[in-house]
Amino acid sequence: MTRILILGGGFGAVYAALRLDRTLARRADVEVTLVSRDNFLLFTPMLHEVAAGDLNPADIVNPIRRMLKRVRFVQGEVRSIDAAARRVTLTRDVRQLPLELEYDHVILALGSETNFFGLADVAEHAVTLRTLGDAVLLRGRILESLEMASLESNPDMRRAMLTYVVAGGGFAGVETVGAINDLVRDVIRYYPRLSIDDVRFVHVFPGEFVLPELGADLGRYAQEKLRGRGVEIRAGARVARFNGTSVALDSGQAIATGTLVWTAGVTPSPVIAALPCKKERQRIVVDEFLQVPDLPGMWAVGDCAAVADPNGGGFQPPTAQHAFRQGVAVARNIEAAVLGGETRAFRFTTIGQLASIGHRSGVARIFGFKFSGALAWFLWRSVYLFKLPRLSKKVRVALSWALEIVFSKDPEQLLTVRDVEAIARIAVRLRAVQPAA
């Protein structure tokens, strides 16, 4: 029996599993297993639309068990990888029970985690936007701040409650600040005691302009569009501290706020740190076949892999369009390794990049051509609707977008502090339930 493990639940992992589901997983002498913390594939490019209320959480997730027919699925948290023994140690379910899986080939597609750059207070108090829960929680937190502010008589405290700081000038930061700015401006009409003049959005990032990946022209265009929608731009600044009530910038300026959205950086999964292989900025360096040199049977794709860019030098960016193509390519090469075929070098050039900046506006660079405004926003939605897996999800999203044109957003909280506390209590009780000896 040849055992193939796929570690991760993102684009690289799931698309590798989909390929193997149609090929090697059909064989009686091959066992393919996908290990993921979540039992669904999250379509992360649309995450900010859930936070803004444009889409429902279920619209952008696809259940892995429904997508795969022959590949075995295990929901668990990868804790360590023993490359010498070819063994992976997991913990499963909320009880965190240990589980070990052995492999002949393993695909590392563990993705990345939020990088707080050693700012412990930011890690404790800030809101992130990496998971579906983050998006739902961010929306609930913003609406909760509106509810609290509507009953607050102190004008200074009310203004602090209605101040939102977003850190990070990349795609996640720009799309998030644009989306939640639209959300607040759309729903504040339902709070007659509040004025839009009390609302303040501050975008903090270290560069000269946002979206440096798209170039200065599009970055400055996006920046001015955000400024025109009332977002204060703090270019060349970094968050130094956040205690839950005030954000301190490295310039010494303090911003009274209870909401800091942190999108300022990511780092590869800490699981790969202990692997005895070459790394580039904590990402595993792979060869042109996506295999880890000197570690037979180990392959890596996605955010945790440093894949050389044969065109411009350096390494390919950790984006979704690269990850899912790497996933298909690595699955094809594993097929060749198992069946005795010839492995093929991975070659791919970035097609383009798009960003939604709110208020039906966007920026894009596709095949070297630049787009901005409503056309770029339309391209953003068209491209990602096409890329969204499964027809049923495409239809749901298209209908939601169509209804959005006619109806305004509703100020409902899908997740409250009470819900979070209840979930924590349930988890504590479940962890106390241990298997019989």
Residues 140, 7 share a domain: no
Residue 335 located in a structural domain: yes
- Per residue of the chain (437 residues), give pLDDT as tens: 999 999 999 999 999 999 999 999 999 999 999 999 999 999 999 999 999 999 999 999 999 999 999 999 999 999 999 999 999 999 998 888 999 999 999 999 999 999 999 999 999 999 999 999 999 999 999 999 999 999 999 999 999 999 999 999 999 999 999 999 999 999 999 999 999 999 999 999 999 999 999 999 999 999 999 999 999 999 999 999 999 999 999 999 999 999 999 999 899 999 999 999 999 999 999 999 999 998 999 999 999 999 998 776 789 888 899 999 999 999 999 999 999 999 999 999 889 999 999 989 999 999 999 999 999 999 999 999 999 999 999 999 999 999 888 888 888 888 777 887 788 888 888 888 877 65
pLDDT digits (tens, 9 = 90+) for 402-431: 988 888 888 888 877 788 778 888 888 888
Nearest alpha-carbon partner for 53 in 411, 350, 323 = 411
Name 157's Cβ contacts closer than 8 Å, sequence gap at least 6: none
CA dist., res. 290 & res. 286, Å (int): 5
pLDDT at position 437: 54
Read off the CATH number of the domain in which 80 is found. 3.50.50.60
pLDDT digits (tens, 9 = 90+) for 58-98: 999 999 999 999 999 999 999 999 999 999 999 998 888 99
Residues 328, 241 share a domain: no
Q: Is the backbone of residue 117 left (phi > 0), alpha (psi -120 to 50) or beta?
A: left
Read off the CATH number of the domain in which 249 is found. 3.50.50.100
Token pair belonging to 391: 């027809």
Residues 167, 47 share a domain: no
Residues 19, 155 share a domain: no
Token pair belonging to 246: 């005030």
Residues 242, 257 share a domain: yes
How many domains does the structure of the chain reveal? 2
Residues 274, 158 share a domain: no
Residues 15, 76 share a domain: yes
Residues 93, 64 share a domain: yes
Residues 219, 139 share a domain: yes
pLDDT at position 435: 74
Domain of 154, in residue numbers: 120-264
Q: Is the dihedral of CA 226, 351, 16, 347 positive or negative?
A: negative
Token pair belonging to 321: 């369009």
Tokens 């383009």 found at: 352
pLDDT at position 415: 78
Which helix H or strand E contains 30, and what residues bound it? strand 30-36
Name 382's Cβ contacts closer than 8 Å, sequence gap at least 6: none
Nearest alpha-carbon partner for 130 in 110, 109, 113, 108 = 113
Residues 301, 288 share a domain: yes
> What pTM did the predictor assign?
0.93
Residues 95, 34 share a domain: yes
Residue 325 located in a structural domain: yes
Contact 335, 20 (CB under 8 A): yes
pLDDT digits (tens, 9 = 90+) for 189-239: 999 999 999 999 999 999 999 999 999 999 999 999 999 999 999 999 999
Residue 385 located in a structural domain: no
Residue 399 located in a structural domain: no
In this structure, are strands 87-92 and 40-42 parallel, antiparallel, or unpaired? unpaired
